[in-house]
């Protein structure tokens, strides 16, 4: 019998401890993927634990359902955006919960799925949609956006210092319909620049974020996560790049503050009450052993907050 090989989820023991997973608890995994974290939560919350898993990627949901069918009704999988979390949880009467997990960024499944064009390591159509029902694709951005807008996207979402140079090269070489061709164009545009990683990494990240509206989705989802967690419940967020981590850090700081007025206002007028208490003053990162065993964990940062 062939055994399925799933990608290894990051920071599993740290996540379970941070969520304080208990028998009989109810949890939402807002980034289900192949179900690695959900499986760990279900095992730790047994007996009586339940997990609601949400993912925009239809293929990921299919894999997770097959993987976790042994848990029967304790596991519920929904194919949708995690920014629909509150609506989904309300419809399923899955509120309040004891914890919510968000494992952000692109999954190993998506990186290894050659037909979507997420990776510059494969020749594939420029798609990059998590959900194939979305309208915008990477191909449209690469082949129709003006150079100024393209440059802004690459700079803002990829933090790419040579965004203008890359955008001009892309526009000059249109049409571009293949991920490997796009990578080659980027390499040629910055070939004399010293890099710690592949020259196309930040541009591919930027286009993917723009296609899926990832940062705006994250901001919306963080607010919804707090609203579905019961008092004393935990929110655990794993991020992989600085843009995501800054959004999470800022959200935690604002939601744990008594005042969120602008700094120039001398007297508080916001009447804001803290909704969370920050558990991790500094993000938790993988051990050296985990980094060695799972190279994709290297940039992971885990932040945890408690609903108050």
Can you give the residue ranges of every domain in the chain?
A: 12-103+215-307, 110-212
CA–CA gap between residue 164 and residue 97 (Å, rounded): 46
Q: How many CA atoms lie within 13 A of 303 on its CB side?
A: 21
Peptide bond into 182 cis (omega under 30): no
Least confident of 101-115, 140-154, 184-198: 101-115
Q: Are 77 and 32 in contact (CB under 8 A)?
A: yes
Cβ–Cβ under 8 Å, residues 12 and 287: no
Say what the pLDDT of residue 6 is: 75
| Band of residue 1 on the pLDDT scale cut at 50, 70, 90 | very low
In angstroms, the CA 233 to CA 191 distance is 49
For the full predicted model, state whether its pTM sits above 0.85: yes
Q: Look up the CATH superfamily of 110-212.
A: Putative methyltransferase TM0872, insert domain (1.10.150.170)
In the predicted structure, residue 124 carries a pLDDT above the cut 70:
yes
Any idea which architecture 12-103+215-307 has in CATH?
3-Layer(aba) Sandwich (3.40)
Higher pLDDT, 112 or 144: 144
pLDDT number for residue 4: 61
Count of H helices and E strands in the chain? 13, 7
Predicted local distance difference test score (pLDDT) of residue 264: 72
Residue 269 has pLDDT above 80, yes or no: no
Does the pLDDT value for residue 240 go beyond 80? Answer: yes
* Residue 272 banded pLDDT, cuts 50, 70, 90: confident
> Quick one: pLDDT at residue 92?
98
Q: What is the mean pLDDT of the chain?
A: 92
């Amino acid at each position: 019998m062939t055994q399925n090989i799933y990608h290894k989820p990051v920071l599993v023991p740290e996540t379970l401890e941070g969520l304080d997973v208990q028998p009989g608890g109810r949890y939402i995994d807002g980034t289900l993927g192949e179900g690695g974290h959900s499986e760990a939560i279900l095992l730790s919350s047994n007996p009586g634990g339940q997990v609601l898993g949400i993912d925009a990627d239809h293929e990921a949901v299919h894999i997770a359902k097959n993987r976790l069918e042994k848990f029967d009704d304790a596991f519920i999988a929904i194919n949708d955006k995690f920014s629909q979390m509150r609506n989904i949880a309300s419809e399923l009467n899955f509120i309040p919960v004891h914890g919510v997990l968000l494992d952000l960024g692109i999954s190993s499944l998506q990186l290894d799925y050659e037909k979507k064009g997420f990776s510059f390591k494969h020749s594939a159509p420029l798609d990059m949609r998590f959900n194939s029902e979305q309208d915008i694709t990477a191909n449209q951005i690469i082949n129709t956006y003006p150079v100024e807008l393209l440059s802004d996207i690459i700079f803002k979402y990829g933090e790419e210092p040579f965004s203008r140079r890359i955008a001009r090269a892309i526009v000059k070489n249109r049409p571009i319909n293949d991920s490997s061709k796009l990578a080659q164009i980027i390499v040629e545009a910055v070939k004399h620049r010293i890099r710690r990683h592949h020259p196309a990494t930040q541009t591919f990240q930027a286009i993917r974020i723009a296609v899926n509206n990832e940062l705006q989705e994250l901001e919306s989802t963080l607010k919804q996560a707090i609203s579905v967690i019961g008092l004393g419940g935990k929110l655990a967020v794993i991020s992989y790049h600085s843009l995501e981590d800054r959004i999470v850090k800022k959200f935690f700081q604002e939601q744990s503050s008594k005042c969120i007025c602008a700094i120039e206002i001398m007297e508080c007028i916001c009447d804001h009450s803290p909704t969370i208490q920050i558990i991790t003053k500094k993000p938790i990162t993988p051990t050296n052993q985990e980094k060695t065993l799972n190279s994709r964990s290297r940039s992971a940062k885990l932040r945890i907050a408690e609903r108050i």
